[in-house]
Amino acid sequence: MTHELHIDHHDRAMWLTIDRPERRNAVTTAVLEHMMQAIDEANQRRDVSVIVLTGSGMQNFCAGADLQHDPSFWRDYSEPHSQFAQLFRRARASHIPLVARVNGACLASGMGLLAMCDLAVASDYATFALPEVRVGLFPAQVLTVLQHLVGRRKLVELCLTGDSITAAEALEIGLVNAVGADVDRELDSLLARLVDKSPAAIRRGLYLMKHIESLPFEASMAFTESQIGLLALTDDAREGQEALRDQRKPNWQGR
């Protein structure tokens, strides 16, 4: 879509790679727009089971918004929604799991890109920080996608000090699922455990999980009661149960 956001397909994975190494993979409004379009496209395709989001090179995942390109987050304030907010909404609405491959520094709005993903792996040399207070700003929109991943005490510390943490610390506080010297080995291990599962179950399951997060107990129970019945009607559910009875590997159709 753009030379600054590469879109590739490997097996059942759509890869979105921010390619702005000269700006530490900081994103512009154009990159965000193309990222939204790619997520929309992936959700319309049955041959895509997962979206991988990463940065080019081996030093930076994403340094946040490019303040030299879009100073002080200026935008057309006649529009009610910012690009970052719209991207986070797209990720929230995605029924295809997003996996962050954190291959280096993950800073500022880059932390938002990480947090909007459903799963994440990181290299052991990756660092994580919310340094906005150092330039007179605050990670406002990032908090919406980050606040349920990290305990409040640690989140307040990250926001108010701007200090960075290591990959090991990010794993400890729940920012990422796995850390390793070879980030691609960790990623391949995770993807292998995703792509052999029912695409239909994952799509409907992600929809279910995201929907009930904001529901009170009784509303959540009522919604999940209806969803389990619908899940049982899918072709994948029938195939999975037949394969279990026949003691064979399922042949998923994604329907």
What is the block-wise mean pLDDT of the chain (255 residues), using blocks of 10 residues? Answer: 86 95 93 96 94 96 84 61 90 97 97 98 98 92 94 96 98 97 97 93 94 95 92 90 91 88
Predicted local distance difference test score (pLDDT) of residue 243: 87
233's CB contacts (< 8 A; 6+ apart) are: none
Q: pTM value?
A: 0.92
CA torsion sign, 106 to 110 to 115 to 121? negative
Predicted local distance difference test score (pLDDT) of residue 63: 95
Predicted local distance difference test score (pLDDT) of residue 203: 93
Q: Classify 16 as helix, strand or coil.
A: strand
CA separation for the pair 159, 150 (Å, rounded): 12
Predicted local distance difference test score (pLDDT) of residue 93: 95
Burial (Cβ within 10 Å: 0-12, 13-18, ≥19) of residue 64: buried
First to last CA, the chain: 29
Cα angle for residues 35, 13, 171 (degrees, 5° grid): 80
175-202 tens-digit pLDDT: 999 999 999 999 999 999 999 999 999 9
Q: What is the DSSP letter of 145?
A: H
Query: Hey, which residues does 55 pair with through a beta bridge?
Result: 18
Predicted local distance difference test score (pLDDT) of residue 194: 94
CA separation for the pair 186, 78 (Å, rounded): 44
CA separation for the pair 211, 232 (Å, rounded): 19
79-96 tens-digit pLDDT: 667 889 999 999 999 999
- Our separate counts of H helices and E strands in the chain read 10, 10
